Chain A
Amino acid sequence: MTTTIPATTTAAAVPVGAGLSMFDPVFIGIDEFGQPVYLDVVYHNLLAAGEPGGGKSGLVNNICGHGVLCDNTRLVLFDAKLVELGPWRDLADAFVGPDIDYGIDTLRRLLVVATNRYTWLLANRRRKLGPDDGMTVILTVIDELAMYSTVLGSKAQQEEFSTLLRGLVSLGRACGMPVVAATQRPSWDIIPASLRDLFGYRAAFRCTSLNSSNIILGQGWAEQGYTASDIAPTNQGAAYLLAEGGMPRRIKAAYLTDTDIYNIADYAAWTRTPTRTTGLPDMGLAA
């Protein structure tokens, strides 16, 4: 059975883009003093973790919402749960559902782009992509990372997925290809520690134990009083954010309701120039 939402008649207004850029700081919420918190997502990878229902997908959706309203930005979405990032599926260049083969192919594709970009940077005597290079930012967002690294597919596929992702996370930062990932618990049996440690920004949503919080933020923070286990279970969206400044900060992520998300997605679809590539081209890259 196929359902199509009928497109309503075109509105009276003229589509005007929101004029944001991925190089702008991305608003993600407020800190404990009520000050807005912005993240420089382009040059950092972000890992959000915490117990189920903590608000990880809420945070990730903020970044996606910013991404789709940006000029010159492509999204690659991985969501085994479909509904969290599904609203953005038409705006993304690739949307990977619970299909690890497609996920692995997509990661390979991204790695080829990253390598090519570094060659381009080398040819241009540069080391880092800037906003004036006219190159698109390719934002990779993965919700429920553990689904790809422990649940879907065979052991070999899961390992390959993790290895490829590690490559993308370590390469992507300086060439405008940041990775934002969310998972419930980033312990070694779910994500290899070598992959976890590559994420520069960490957001720890509520955890049940000091140990879990330390796994997310890094060893030793719980002992200094920065532990996500003291967040009230009812206070969804509150987290400890380890970003600039070197100290974990208590933040509350902004929350987009379903209506907000679909409004943003519709608006973005209306204003974006259709430069999106669809489907998976044959990369000719056999494993």
Chain B
Amino acid sequence: MSKSSPRRRFGGKSTGTVTVIEARVHRSSARNAKVAFVLTAIIVGGLAAVVATSYLHPIVALLLGGLIGVTTGAFVWLLVRVWPVIRLLWWWSTEILLAVVLLTGWVQLANHTSTLVTLVVVAVLVGVPAGIPKLRRLVIAWSWCLIVRHRLRVCFAQFIIASQSGSLPLILWATPTPVGERVWVYLRPGLSAKDLEGRLDKIAVTCHASTVLIERASEGNAAYVRFDIKRREVLNARVNSPLVDVIDPSAPASASPLTVPTALDLPDVEVPTVTLPTQAKPAGKKSAPTTTANGSKPAASSADADDDVSDWI
């Protein structure tokens, strides 16, 4: 199901190979730009002309309107044409920003200090996060957040194309969780959380993760979903209770006296005490004190206890 829908969609017009799809997308981008140009020019030009007629002679107003319309149209045409590039820049904006900051920092440092100082500063900047485990894990976790957004985009672009125009869901921000990352995504028309549920295993593979879960992030808007990418298992660890921290362990011990039976072994218990089979079973399974504390109770039907045990066999 996951593979067939894109194939069917493109199958009619092309052979379905990757290059043809891209050519098609390219063509549609050129056509879209043309349509956008014409529409913007007509609408903006018309409006501008209408407004201008109340100040100028109608013919001058018409010319001015045409000029304004063509200028805005050209601007919109350009925007639509370079949109793929802008989108690409936006996708890599964090990385570009990071690279710029790092490079500028490096160049400034190299220009203003001696080589030795430069090396020492770099060694400290790299060595301290690498040496302190907590910091190192933080850096790695946030790096995964950057990576995983790109991987998710690959998923959407490669095998979850949903809408006719091939527009991708908006991949919003990502934060680290103790098990991996959590990414918020705003779906575009043509996709739903239910659709994606069937492909979580493939998404996990693409994200180099163990499993991926999807959940709605908003009660009121089905387009707003959350991906939970799991790389580690936390449920195997022991969890401590915060109650231990609110108490003062030096509190004086207190306990009421207990009557402890002395018959702690089988020979110590007289035969008549355990005449009833149903009582003997739980008493043997639990602890010896039960026998004496409960010695006088009437029996339940033995079938009950047998069922109880056999349920687990």
Binding site for B on A (CB under 8 A): 1-5, 7-11, 13, 15-16, 18-20, 27, 29-30, 32-35, 51-52, 62, 65-66, 69, 80-83, 89-90, 97-100, 146-147, 150-155, 158, 184-185, 187, 189-190, 208, 212, 235, 237-238, 250-256, 260, 262-264, 266-271
Complex alpha-carbon distance, A46 and B278, angstroms: 29
Q: Which residues of B contact A151 (CB under 8 A)?
A: 278, 282, 300, 304-305, 308
Q: Which residue from chain A places its CB closest to the CB of B261 in the assembled complex?
A: A1
Q: How many A-B pairs fall under 8 Å by CB? A: 184
Q: Which residues of A contact B256 (CB under 8 A)?
A: 89-90
Report which of A7, A97, A153, A190 forms a contact with B254, defined as CB distance below 8 A: A7
Interface residues in B, total, Cβ within 8 A: 53
A98 touches B304 (CB 8 A): no
* 20 sampled A-B residue pairs with Cβ under 8 A: A7-B252, A15-B251, A33-B182, A33-B230, A34-B178, A80-B286, A80-B290, A90-B254, A98-B286, A99-B293, A152-B282, A152-B297, A184-B308, A184-B312, A237-B238, A254-B239, A254-B241, A256-B241, A264-B244, A267-B249
A69 touches B239 (CB 8 A): no
Tell yes or no: B88 within 8 A of A by CB: no
Tell yes or no: B262 within 8 A of A by CB: yes
A98 touches B290 (CB 8 A): yes
Known: A3-B260, A154-B300, A264-B247. A29 touches B282 (CB 8 A): no
B289 touches A5 (CB 8 A): no
Report which of B257, B278, B294, B298 forms a contact with A4, defined as CB distance below 8 A: B257
CB contact list, B265-305 vs A, under 8 A? 278, 282, 286-287, 289-290, 293-294, 297-301, 304-305
A152 touches B308 (CB 8 A): no
Complex alpha-carbon distance, A90 and B304, angstroms: 33
* Nearest CB in chain A: distance from B258 CB, A: 6
Tell yes or no: B18 within 8 A of A by CB: no
* Nearest CB in chain A: distance from B275 CB, A: 15
Q: Which residues of A contact B258 (CB under 8 A)?
A: 2-3
A2 touches B293 (CB 8 A): no
Known: A2-B257, A7-B253. A152 touches B248 (CB 8 A): no
Q: Which of B260, B278, B290 has the most CB of A within 10 A?
A: B290
B259 touches A1 (CB 8 A): yes
B286 touches A267 (CB 8 A): no
B179 touches A34 (CB 8 A): yes
B312 touches A250 (CB 8 A): no
Contacts A3-B257, A69-B243, A146-B308 aside, 13 further interface pairs with beta carbons under 8 A come to A10-B252, A18-B246, A62-B243, A69-B247, A82-B286, A150-B300, A158-B300, A185-B312, A251-B235, A253-B239, A263-B249, A269-B251, A270-B251
- Contact flags B173-186 to A (C-beta < 8 A → 1, else 0): 00001110010000
